[in-house]
Amino acid sequence: MEFFVKYKIWIAIGVIWLFHISGIIGIALGSQDWFLTKTPLNLVICLLLFVLLYPINTTKKMFVFAFFFFLGMFSEWLGVNYSLLFGNYEYGKNFGPKWDGVPILIGCFWALLAFVTATMTQPLKLPIAIKLVISALLMVFLDFLMEQNAPNFDFWYFEGQVPIKNYITWFVIGFFMHFIIWKLKIKGNIILSYHLYFAQLIFFVFFYLFPIA
């Protein structure tokens, strides 16, 4: 038990990479139907590890995480039901259960990604405005990569091409979230944050370079 307590961060990081690398291999070898339907499980595991080890352990962090969750859900609800903010799109089946067309996990993803990308830039010796911009761009970049295979993964579908306003909205909302994190001086585990981000980044970069049919 002492081993698990001492190395809990690295064990969690190992689990995160195991799921993402297994997903890359499995999907690349043709088992995409099986692996992609497990997307909600992967997101839930990453979310639990994040909450426990980042950690989300104070009232302030819990409140901000909940606020980001509802902000993400509301923004996506406006997008899905009224074609506002992001464009005209709808979600598929592989992001898990939905509320009025919006997967519950997408709200969690917004919150998790905001915390993670904000934490990644905190050690940088740069003006805060630059760090906020970089953090928001990290969110936009990951979304850009996800967009390339989202229809093939049955994540979501845009009507026509992904509009530029989708990325602008991601940047604006992300910048706002990062400003709140900075203003409230929220900090967390930097190593975990980097691995959570880069595990997803490597996954989607691979399928950006080698898209599935």
Write out pLDDT tens, residues 15-71: 999 999 999 999 999 999 999 999 999 999 999 999 999 999 999 999 999 999 999
| pLDDT at residue 4, rounded to an integer | 66
| pLDDT at residue 212, rounded to an integer | 85
Among residues 41, 71, 79, the alpha carbon closest in space to that of 162 is found at 79
Among residues 52, 41, 49, 51, the alpha carbon closest in space to that of 13 is found at 49
The conformation of residue 189, written as its DSSP 8-state character, comes to -
* Residue 158 burial class via C-beta count within 10 angstroms: exposed 0-12, middle 13-18, buried 19 and up: middle
CB 65 within 8 A of CB 111: yes
Domain region containing 111: 2-209
Write out pLDDT tens, residues 143-185: 999 999 999 999 999 999 999 999 999 999 999 999 999 999 9
For residue 174, give the 3-state DSSP assignment. helix
Higher pLDDT, 4 or 126: 126
Report the predicted TM-score, pTM, of the whole model to 2 decimal places: 0.95
Q: How many domains does the chain have?
A: 1
- Using CA atoms, how far residue 182 sits from 86, 119, 121, 136, 179, in Å, is 25, 9, 11, 13, 5
